[in-house]
Structure 1
């Protein structure tokens, strides 16, 4: 999938298969912060659904459509202030708690 770019950031989507034939696909969205020495951070982690699309709504507001027959993990959030980890492991770390609002399947945003 191609990178999605705005002036200050670019996003990259990565997929990882898990569980063999009966498993699924994990989806990672990384953001490269061009004005911060191209530091790369994972800002979204979830199971991938059938329809995936990234859109910049403004310079720091990113919308991710991650929708399929079996669920909707779409979200819109503010980069540098919010992250999403479906399973919540990242949200338990001190660094994440201190610096971000972290959304999980139990603490969600935008109705998914």
Structure 2
């Protein structure tokens, strides 16, 4: 989804440049206004705006086809199980997403993602008490480690989950990377 947004934005910028080039003769009163180019630009600008709005306010933790990374790690009383997964993105110049799913054993083994970030060099999961999970995800340049109450907290490194209209009822506290 992110790659499509970048591609659509790049096309929109190129169309803007093309439109500006076509408008110069109009401004010099030598040609008629470039209506087709303006319409195409407006269409791509609208699509780009809709896509940015959609990604910002309709974000979900839809992580699929990930590879199990660490875990499962069962909570001290056995009510929850934490499992982390990773998935590469972006090809050679990309990176790796890591996320943590919690299985709620007292709610029909329902899974809920509570953490999503870019993977760092050091990653670990450990329980501080029955409902508090410590997630260590850091390297020498950045630390996105956090303590989360699995019932009420979520973490998303870019903060998209914090402004999502879809998942706002699933948490009380949302944390994002502050750097």
Any stretches of 5+ residues in structure 1 without a counterpart?
107-111
TM-score by length of 2: 0.56
Give the Cα separation in 1 of the matches to 2:87 and 2:137.
Answer: 15
Instruction: Kindly indicate whether the alpha-carbon contact (under 8 Å) linking 2:89 and 2:96 is maintained by their aligned counterparts in 1.
Output: yes
Deviations 1:68-92 (A, max 9, x none): 1221110012111110011222222
Q: Aligned to 2:158, what secondary structure does the other structure show?
A: coil
Give the Cα separation in 1 of the matches to 2:166 and 2:153.
Answer: 13
Any stretches of 5+ residues in structure 2 without a counterpart?
1-69
2:143 equivalent to 1:79: no
Give the Cα separation in 2 of the matches to 1:50 and 1:17.
Answer: 14
TM-score by length of 1: 0.87
Structure 1 vs Structure 2 CA RMSD? 1.5
2:113 equivalent to 1:51: no
Instruction: Kindly indicate whether the alpha-carbon contact (under 8 Å) linking 2:80 and 2:103 is maintained by their aligned counterparts in 1.
Output: yes
Deviations 1:45-99 (A, max 9, x none): 0001111110101100110010112211100121111100112222222353334
Greater percentage in helix = 2
Deviations 1:4-49 (A, max 9, x none): 1121000111101111112111011000000000000000000011
Give the Cα separation in 2 of the matches to 1:70 and 1:97.
Answer: 31
2:93 equivalent to 1:22: yes
What number of residue pairs does the alignment pair up? 107
- Greater Rg, structure 1 or structure 2? 2
Q: Which residue matches 1:105?
A: 177
Larger mean CA deviation between 94-103 and 2-11 belongs to 94-103
Give the Cα separation in 2 of the matches to 1:105 and 1:31.
Answer: 21
Q: Aligned to 1:98, what secondary structure does the other structure show?
A: helix
Greater percentage in strand = 1
Give the Cα separation in 2 of the matches to 1:78 and 1:95.
Answer: 20
Q: Which residue matches 1:41?
A: 112
Q: Which runs of 4+ in 1 moved over 3 A?
A: none
